[in-house]
Amino acid sequence: MAQSELRRNLITKRWVVIATERNRRPSDFHHDRVPTNKLKEDSHSCPFCPGNESLTPKTILEYSGGASWKTRIFPNKFLALAIEGNLNKKRDGIFQTMAGRGAHEVIVATPSHKTVYDLSNEEMTDALWSFKERILDLRKSLDEDGEPKIQYIIVFGNQGEAAGATKEHAHFQLVGLPVVPSASRIEFINCEEYWENENVCLFCELVKQEHREKSRIISENENFLSIADYAGRFPFETWILPKNHLPLFEDGTPEKMRSLAEAFTDIVSRLGKTLNYPPFNIYLRNTPIHERSHDRYYHFYLKIVPHLTEPAGFELGTEFHINPVIPEKAAEYLRESK
């Protein structure tokens, strides 16, 4: 009986169970699922299609191109966080509270009624560039006391209903938070500790080690490396990282953004082919927008996480995850899928 393995990397320091014995093939995850790149909604009533702009809040930013806009950003209709008001930080006994102040925007990535699976490199490059513009703009928002309103910005996307998408038309969301989320904070703490001990950036070390070991590399281009995470929590979880030291997403040049868009569409296409167009989530984890001390030892990155398994009591209780696909095998499947 093959024994399972516990793994972690020093960036998250979070243990993961790699269940070698349950080792699953891609077809084990096809289920009876309808491929999520197949369109179900009617484009006439789609609020993200050109002509239906009146169904959404007012435009914050748009790129024009030919017959309509190419990329369009507006506030989310169902705001999780709003930019107005005071933070009103309060403590009451062992509880703390503050107002949900921040930003919550929707980025429609294409005028065409199609899913993220069908975004072109050009459309994705524009979307990435719009993230950068919004981050640079939100970085400037200050409250009455001259304090930054937003401490951290996350950009994410959901493909397919099971992954939380309520609209199929390709879009991303940006949320500006008044605090740095603990998931990122833990990475900064670990990377800082490594920096202090070793005087090198842990992400630069990761890139070096992945190049040396090769087994987890799925693809790469001039600027970005796409790998299976050694201690990935989810099957076929894929990590896209800058190959050279680049802590801030918003420092990305047009050339870097093009490169990242290519890496992204490449991975999305491989996941689609290998796993029959599963639902997935993506997120962009970045350095905080004001704390610049982390720039020495952090790289922004994209994670693409297919939604293939459901977390249950074990995962909730321990925040350990059981990954039924060995990351090196996942990389192999995805590498061979083109």
163-202 residues near a second copy, rule: CB under 8 A: 163-165, 173, 175, 177-179, 181-184, 194, 202
- For the segment 117-156, give every residue that binds a second copy (CB under 8 A): 152, 154, 156
Per DSSP, 101 falls in state: B
Q: DSSP secondary structure string, 158-169? A: EESGGGT-S--S
CA pair distance 227, 215, nearest whole angstrom: 9
- For the segment 247-276, give every residue that binds a second copy (CB under 8 A): none
Cβ closer to a second copy: 14 or 273?
14
Cβ closer to a second copy: 39 or 162?
162
- For the segment 271-330, give every residue that binds a second copy (CB under 8 A): 281-285, 303, 305, 310-314, 316-320, 322
Cβ closer to a second copy: 67 or 312?
312
Q: Does 58 bind a second copy (CB under 8 A)?
A: no
Q: DSSP secondary structure string, 123-146? A: HHHHHHHHHHHHHHHHTT-B-TTS
Residue 307: helix, strand or coil by DSSP?
coil
Among 122, 133, 205, 250, binds a second copy (CB under 8 A): 205
Among 96, 144, 145, 197, binds a second copy (CB under 8 A): 96
- Residues 271-306 as b/e (b if ≥16 CB within 10 A, e otherwise) read bbebbbbbbbbbbbbbbbbeeeebbebbbbbbbbbb
Q: DSSP secondary structure string, 241-282? A: EESS----GGG--HHHHHHHHHHHHHHHHHHHHHHTS--EEE
What string marks each residue from 16 to 55 as x (binds a second copy by CB under 8 A) or -? -xxx-xx---------------------------------
Shortest reach from residue 337's CB to a second copy, in Å: 23
Cβ closer to a second copy: 35 or 181?
181
Give yes or no for a contact between 178 and 87, defined as CB atoms under 8 angstroms apart: yes
Cβ closer to a second copy: 4 or 269?
4
β partners of residue 282: 157, 304
Q: Does 7 bind a second copy (CB under 8 A)?
A: yes
Shortest reach from residue 134's CB to a second copy, in Å: 16
Binding piece for a second copy, criterion CB under 8 A, among 73-81, 122-130, 141-149, 330-338:
73-81
Structure tokens given for 71: 């990329």
Q: Does 85 bind a second copy (CB under 8 A)?
A: yes
